[in-house]
Amino acid sequence: EDSFREKMLKNISAHRGTVPELETRPHAQLAFCIDVRSESFRRHIEAQGSYETFGFAGFFGIPISHQAFDSDQRVSLCPLLLTPDHAVTETPRSGEGAALEKYSSGTRWHQLGRHLFHDLKYHPIGSMMVIDVLGFFFSLGLVGKTLLQKTFRAMTSTIQSGLTHRVPTQISISTPSNPQNPRIGEVNAEGIPDGLSQGFSLTERATFIENGLRAMGLTKNFARLVCLCGHGSETDNNPYYGALDCGACGGAPGDANARVFAAMANEPEVRRILKEKGLPIPDDTWFLPGKHNTTTDRVEFYDLEELPDSHKEDLQALNKDLEEAGAKQALERCHRIPGAPTEISPEQALAHVDKRSCDWANTRPEWGLAGNAAFLIGRRKLTKGLDLGGRVFLHSYDPIADPQGAILEK
């Protein structure tokens, strides 16, 4: 550990002063989790062009109790040391009645099939019939998932997309006009447990965004696209899957937190308050939520229905560069994964890690946080372009903007 520390500090010292200040407006700015898997991905996307990246805990400073669409369970998306005070719910977008009705119809048939299968499987006589009738279909799945992993996944995805219907959703962030406060042990009309308030007030929304932007040092020279990238993993039959998701979100993916942050930051009223507090955001800056899949090295964006037409070319260029960065990230990770091929192209490496994500015999499709050896809090110019081997947590922090150390203390 001493030798690692001395080598890392020596490299950072030698690197100091070699990164010039970015005078022009960047193509895009991307905020990733402080996770070690983000370190190398940030390095590769920065190498694609005029991009600026930031590191911030993957819940983006907004602890929430989140209920996903068509789910009856709530999940606390925040570090385990915190308790969320605010509840948010993923709901269908307005005007999506036809899509919702198709989805509901498909869901009813799906639920009927599941309940029927469950009842037959546990019935003393029905269980024997199920083996004879459905055994052949289960054997197809066994062979497909074992020998034809990617092909089988593509086939099942095609069948599933044909039988089900996607419903565009949004996450509610505003406080209802007539909130109901339940008694202890009860839930209100919106299904919110006691102790939680539905959504955030305008003042709270502005405060969360101000604290988040100041904490990561993003207070000037905003790009047209500012992307909040939560992260999660994709595995099959993996007992360690929880360890591969975002620790700052309690072992769950952080895309919901990114969507909440972006929705707040795009509100005109929130920006008006921030401007009064000395934090002006340009009118053409758009905050876009996404998720970095740390197993497949791809980035998926959400709430594209709200993206202005003027920013679609910017997103198209960003997606192309993210694909290139993901391929190089995959190749770098292949050199760290035992048994993975190394004498391959970045595109072949991207295909390899994608295959690992659907291999139901692979309990370690990626290493997660294994190998983490340091936590660096500072400006990106200290390490930009420096290869830290995917072993360092990187939290953005500008000490010049924090003379009293209040942000650092938090």
State the residue for tokens 């419903």: 167
For 315, the token pair is: 């997103």
In order along its 410 residues, the chain shows pLDDT tens digits of 899 999 999 999 999 889 888 889 999 999 999 999 999 999 999 999 999 999 999 999 999 999 998 888 899 999 999 999 999 999 888 876 667 776 776 666 667 777 777 777 787 877 777 777 777 777 888 888 888 888 888 888 887 776 667 788 999 898 876 555 444 345 555 566 667 889 999 999 999 999 999 999 999 999 999 999 999 999 988 888 888 999 999 999 999 999 999 999 999 999 999 999 999 999 999 999 999 999 999 999 999 999 999 999 999 999 999 999 999 999 999 999 888 999 999 999 999 999 999 998 888 899 899 889 999 999 999 999 999 999 999 999 998 888 999 988 88
What number of CA atoms fall less than 13 Å from residue 2's CA on the CB side?
Answer: 0
Put simply, whether the predicted model's pTM sits higher than 0.85 gets the answer: yes
Q: What is the 3-state secondary structure (H, E, C) of the chain?
A: CHHHHHHHHHHHHHHCCCCCCCCCCCCEEEEECCCHHHHHHHHHHHCCCCEEEEECCCCCCCCEEEECCCCCCEEEECCCCCCCCEEEEEEECCCCHHHHHHHHHHHHHHHHHHHHHHHHHCCCCHHHHHHHHHHHHHHHHHHHHHHCHHHHHHHHHHHHHHHCCCCCEEECCECCCCCCCCCCCCECCCCCECCCEECECHHHHHHHHHHHHHHHCCCCCCCCEEEEEEEECCCCCCCCHHHHCEHHHCCECCHHHHHHHHHHHCCHHHHHHHHHCCCCCCCCCEEEEEEEECCCCEEEECCHHHCCHHHHHHHHHHHHHHHHHHHHHHHHHHCCCCCCCCCCCHHHHHHHHHHHHCCCCCCCCCCCCCCCCEEEEECHHHCCCCCCCCCEEEEECCHHHCCCCHHHHC
70 phi-psi bin (left φ>0, alpha ψ -120 to 50, beta other) = left
Q: Give the CA angle between residues 22, 26, 31 to the nearest 5°.
A: 100
